[in-house]
């Protein structure tokens, strides 16, 4: 059956659907680096981020999305990281943020 | 000896009476329920140490009994002045001062209709969960093990829609504590805490929060659940915003735990009208000063201990018991 | 059976008789038989007095919600309806549209909160029309009135909302419409989270309501949103979300409270089927969508074509068969005086045979 074009399409849901998302990669990442779960979302990492000040890169948001099983584009985003290490200096929870960027890239190269 | 009547036999009231006895006064505890203990009777273990509530309660009650303090249970107070307390039955008791330790009321979660408490199976309150812990039977309503559990912070707190603008303080740490207990009972389950702010105000609380996150793998999502609805397989679908990613989020869970807040007793309004003490906008009774007179009321001879003035932890209530007793003892001696 | 424990806390005063009827704009086009059915049921079956006043106008709610009609104007229009009601000697306003009901409720609340706006409206109305008005003694939506008489209708019922073959209650999805109680929860029976206005009718007439995950979600109408073609993608996505969510429960029909919702839930099923090939009802067809008047009319034994059910996008015949309703398939597209009114082209969501008697007449 040929679909009729009414001049619009049905918008796809924007919600993060935890029932649908596959959390296996996320669990692997958190298993290797449980300290990432101690993030309190303060945004210090993103505030000082060399790349984030000049691009749309938001380290805090990307790793939070990864933890929810939203992997698409995370690898490309993490590639913007310059590995300068400033984020790790400022993290009040002592998270190895630089390591998180590397880990996400290693785990999510296929997405 | 000067008679000081302590209204309320919870932790604050019991400690007040003990200290009054130390101070050379003659205390009388009036408890509206059939036994001493107040809200703590319904609690299983206490944050941040997982100390059984019964241990704390048994110790305090033991001291009250050993000390021979006069207690009247099933004695509901209708009205009081600094020099007399009238019981609901009409009996009037004379005294030299009154310490009000009438505590708080748990927020009725049914008022937040969108969460379906009392309608959907497996939507429970933090108080229900404590009871389940105490009974040693935590399970879904069909008896099965929950695989995914969500906790919702601030139910009946910081919510102008239900006329409860204040923060109930202890629910955040209770949420962390209960999430850890659930994870201990159901290690294979995923546990999510939905919060607006995490307020870890006490000693050891922040450390406990971190442990919950890092060691127990409990997920904390900053966003308030907007509604709960049933799914075809008897679970609960919840919706929230994951504010840290700026995206709506939804999932189905086997159990939804509502961390209910502490609200002011309805009797506070009556007491304030009758005895000239003042109430805060939150409905709790207002101390004379938040800094130097936290256990004194704005009326002579009436003192406060515990959560009658604001939400507090058990330890804080016990401390106020000492302070209120000393203030009352000082007052009756000067008269 | 869906559990609810709070609907009794949300009650409102509904007059017993002598109603001034405010019609809807779009129902005249999409569900033209429903308003007539309301009048017939109230006057004929219930013996009530209802004035269907040709002088009254649109409440201008569509224009208001599309940012075309300003607040002052809509308040004056509302005041004019009240003036007409007073002049006709009535004081119980009953409106046939959720948008209008929301508008009237909002205007009355605004006047109560800011009395100076009421004064200004009085001046505006007098300047424009020379009329004066009194506020209604009671304001109700037509479904409120139907709910009010649900037990009487049940007592007079010709058939019930049960499967005639199995005796099982029909599974019904009720959809309330946002402006019924989401703006002023106390203005709706049962409040906003567990509204009981339609559920009360369904249960009184033998059916069973389905509580599904997206029950409280908006149909996506939203006025300016769907009016603009570029926005229709997210407008239709809301109905899509609801249909996806309710489909596993296999509802026998949907009953809607609001003209826009009834239209959307019915017609979007066609659009979704044609765009994506997805259908939500039995045998690859759509789920019939009824107005509460149609539901009441079927219960009271009205002829489905007299109720205007041939105007639906999704065919209602499977439901009629299930309920054991006696109808003449050949009379479906015969309008007043037996005149042929034309027939829609066949579509995926529909199920009736395309080669019927009308083609011969064509």
**Domains of chain B: residue spans and CATH:** 3-104+264-333 (3.50.50.60), 109-262 (3.50.50.60)
Least CB–CB distance from C5: residue in B119, B229, B231: B119
Cβ-Cβ contacts under 8 Å, A77 against chain B: none
A65-102 pLDDT tens trace: 999 999 999 999 999 999 999 999 999 999 999 999 99
- Closest Cα partner for A13 from A78, A62, A70? A70
Q: How close B192 gets to chain C, by Cα (Å)?
A: 20
**Which residue in chain B is spatially nearest to C2 when comparing CA positions?**
B119
Note the pLDDT of residue C111: 98
**Which residue in chain A is spatially nearest to C275 when comparing CA positions?**
A3
Note the pLDDT of residue C228: 87
CB A37 within 8 A of CB A76: no
List of chain B residues with pLDDT < 50: none
DSSP string covering C61-74, please?
A: HHHHHTTSS-HHHH
Q: How close B142 gets to chain C, by Cα (Å)?
A: 17
Q: How close C235 gets to chain A, by Cα (Å)?
A: 8
CB C34 within 8 A of CB C316: no
Note the pLDDT of residue C29: 84
Note the pLDDT of residue C360: 40
Least CB–CB distance from C194: residue in B113, B231, B232: B113
Helix runs in B31-96, H state only: 53-66
Note the pLDDT of residue C358: 43
B235-289 pLDDT tens trace: 999 999 999 999 999 999 999 999 999 999 999 999 999 999 999 999 999 999 9
Q: How far apart are CA A22 and CA C147, in angstroms?
A: 46
CA-to-CA separations, C114 to C100, C106, C108, C111, C124, in angstroms, rounded: 20, 12, 10, 5, 16
Note the pLDDT of residue C225: 84
Say if the Cβ atoms of A30 and B213 lie within 8 Å: no
Cβ-Cβ contacts under 8 Å, B226 against chain C: none
Distance of CA A48 to the CA centre of its chain: 17
Say if the Cβ atoms of B230 and C5 lie within 8 Å: no
Q: How far apart are CA B260 and CA A88, in angstroms?
A: 37
Say if the Cβ atoms of C249 and B232 lie within 8 Å: yes
Note the pLDDT of residue C362: 40
Packed helices C32-40 and C292-300: angle between N→C axes, nearest 10 degrees: 50
User: How many CB atoms within 10 Å of residue B164?
Assistant: 22
ipTM: 0.94
Say if the Cβ atoms of A37 and B213 lie within 8 Å: yes
Q: What is the mean pLDDT of residues A35-59?
A: 96
- Closest Cα partner for C209 from C260, C246, C261, C158? C246
List of chain C residues with pLDDT < 70: 1, 352-362
Cβ-Cβ contacts under 8 Å, C230 against chain A: 8
Given a contact as 3+ CB pairs under 8 Å, which chains touch B? A, C
User: Which residues 260-279 of C are in CB contact (within 8 Å) with A?
Assistant: 271-272, 274-277
CA-to-CA separations, B270 to B78, B277, B283, in angstroms, rounded: 9, 10, 11
Say if the Cβ atoms of B250 and A64 lie within 8 Å: no
Say if the Cβ atoms of C194 and B110 lie within 8 Å: no
Q: How far apart are CA B198 and CA B209, in angstroms?
A: 9
Interface of B with A (CB under 8 A): 198, 210, 213-215, 217-219, 222, 239, 242, 244-252
C361: exposed, middle or buried (C-beta count within 10 Å: 0-12, 13-18, 19+)? exposed
Say if the Cβ atoms of A19 and B249 lie within 8 Å: no
DSSP conformational letter for C184: S
Note the pLDDT of residue C308: 93
Note the pLDDT of residue C11: 86
Say if the Cβ atoms of C216 and B227 lie within 8 Å: yes
Strand partners, B152: B194, B258
Cβ-Cβ contacts under 8 Å, C276 against chain A: 3, 10
Note the pLDDT of residue C222: 86
Note the pLDDT of residue C117: 98
Cβ-Cβ contacts under 8 Å, B110 against chain C: 5-6
Q: How far apart are CA B258 and CA B151, in angstroms?
A: 6
C244 touches chain B (CB under 8 A): no
Given a contact as 3+ CB pairs under 8 Å, which chains touch A? B, C
Chain C interface, mutation test: which of A8, A13, A14, A15, most C Cβ atoms within 10 Å?
Answer: A8
Say if the Cβ atoms of B230 and C212 lie within 8 Å: yes
Note the pLDDT of residue A2: 63
Q: How close A29 gets to chain C, by Cα (Å)?
A: 32
- Closest Cα partner for B147 from C137, C46, A19? A19
The token pair that represents B322 in the structure block = 């000492």
């Amino acid at each position: 059956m040929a679909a009729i074009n009414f001049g619009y399409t049905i918008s796809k849901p924007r919600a993060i659907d935890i029932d649908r998302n596959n959390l296996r990669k996320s669990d692997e990442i958190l298993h290797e680096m449980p300290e990432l779960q101690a993030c309190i979302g303060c945004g210090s990492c993103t505030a000082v981020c060399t790349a984030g000040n000049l691009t749309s890169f938001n380290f805090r948001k990307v790793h939070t999305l990864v933890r929810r099983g939203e992997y698409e584009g995370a690898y490309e985003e993490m590639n913007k990281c310059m590995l300068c290490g400033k984020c790790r200096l400022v993290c009040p929870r002592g998270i190895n943020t630089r390591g998180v960027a590397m880990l996400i890239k290693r785990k999510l190269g296929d997405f | 000896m000067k008679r000081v009547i302590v209204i309320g036999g919870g932790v604050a009231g019991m400690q007040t009476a003990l200290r009054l006895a130390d101070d050379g006064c003659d205390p009388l505890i009036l408890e509206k329920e059939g036994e001493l203990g107040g809200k703590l009777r319904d609690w299983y273990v206490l944050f941040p140490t997982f100390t059984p509530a019964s241990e704390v309660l048994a110790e305090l009650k033991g001291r009250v009994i050993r000390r021979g303090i006069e207690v009247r249970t099933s004695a509901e107070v209708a009205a009081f002045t600094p020099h007399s307390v009238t019981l609901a039955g009409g009996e009037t008791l004379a005294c030299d001062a009154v310490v009000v330790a009438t505590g708080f009321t748990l927020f009725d979660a049914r008022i937040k209709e969108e969460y379906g408490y009392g309608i959907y199976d497996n939507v429970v309150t933090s108080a229900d969960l404590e009871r389940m812990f105490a009974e040693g039977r935590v399970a879904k309503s069909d008896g099965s093990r929950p695989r995914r559990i969500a906790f919702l912070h601030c139910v009946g707190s910081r919510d102008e829609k239900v006329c409860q603008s204040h923060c109930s303080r202890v629910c955040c740490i209770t949420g962390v504590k209960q999430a850890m207990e659930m994870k201990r009972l159901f290690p294979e389950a995923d546990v999510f805490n939905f919060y607006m702010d995490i307020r870890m105000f006490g000693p050891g609380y922040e450390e406990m929060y971190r442990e919950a996150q890092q060691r127990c793998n409990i997920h904390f999502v900053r966003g308030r659940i907007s509604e709960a609805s049933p799914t075809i397989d008897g679970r609960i679908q919840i919706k929230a915003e994951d504010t840290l990613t700026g995206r709506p989020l939804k999932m189905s869970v086997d159990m939804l735990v509502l961390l209910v807040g502490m609200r002011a007793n309805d009797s506070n309004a009556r007491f304030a009208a009758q005895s000239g003490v003042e109430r805060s906008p939150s409905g709790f009774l207002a101390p004379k000063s938040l800094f130097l007179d936290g256990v004194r009321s704005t009326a002579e001879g009436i003192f406060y201990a515990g959560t009658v003035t604001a939400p507090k932890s058990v330890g804080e209530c016990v401390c106020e018991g000492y302070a209120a007793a000393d203030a009352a003892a000082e007052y009756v001696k000067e008269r | 059976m869906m559990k609810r424990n709070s609907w009794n806390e949300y009650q409102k005063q509904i007059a017993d008789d002598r109603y001034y009827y405010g019609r809807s704009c779009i129902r005249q086009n999409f569900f033209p038989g429903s308003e007539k059915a309301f009048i017939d049921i109230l006057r004929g079956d219930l013996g009530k007095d209802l004035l269907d006043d040709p002088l009254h106008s649109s409440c201008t709610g569509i224009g208001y919600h599309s940012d075309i009609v300003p607040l002052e104007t809509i308040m004056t229009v509302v005041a004019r309806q009240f003036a007409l009601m007073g002049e006709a000697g009535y004081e119980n306003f009953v409106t046939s549209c959720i948008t209008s009901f929301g508008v009237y409720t909002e205007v009355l609340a605004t006047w109560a909160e800011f009395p100076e706006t009421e004064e200004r409206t009085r001046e505006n109305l007098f300047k424009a029309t020379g009329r004066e008005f009194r506020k209604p003694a009671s304001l109700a939506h037509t479904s409120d009135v139907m709910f009010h008489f649900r037990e009487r209708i049940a007592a007079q019922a010709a058939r019930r909302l049960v499967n005639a073959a199995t005796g099982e209650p029909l599974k019904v999805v009720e959809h309330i419409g946002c402006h019924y109680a989401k703006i002023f929860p106390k203005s709706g029976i049962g409040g906003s989270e567990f509204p009981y206005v339609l559920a009360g009718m369904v249960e009184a007439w033998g059916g069973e309501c389905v509580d599904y995950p997206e029950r409280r979600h908006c149909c996506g109408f939203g006025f300016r949103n769907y009016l603009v073609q570029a926005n229709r993608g997210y407008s239709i996505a809301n109905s899509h979300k609801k249909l996806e969510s309710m489909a596993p429960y296999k509802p026998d029909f949907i009953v809607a409270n609001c003209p826009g919702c009834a239209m959307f839930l019915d017609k979007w099923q066609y659009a979704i089927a044609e765009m994506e090939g997805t259908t939500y009802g039995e045998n690859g067809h759509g789920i019939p969508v009824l107005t509460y008047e149609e539901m009441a009319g079927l219960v009271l034994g009205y002829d489905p074509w007299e109720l205007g059910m041939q105007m639906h996008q999704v065919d209602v015949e499977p439901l009629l068969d299930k309920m054991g309703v006696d109808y003449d398939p050949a009379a479906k597209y015969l309008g007043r005086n037996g005149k042929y009114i034309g027939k829609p082209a066949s579509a995926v969501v529909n199920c009736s045979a395309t080669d019927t008697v009308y083609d011969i007449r064509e």
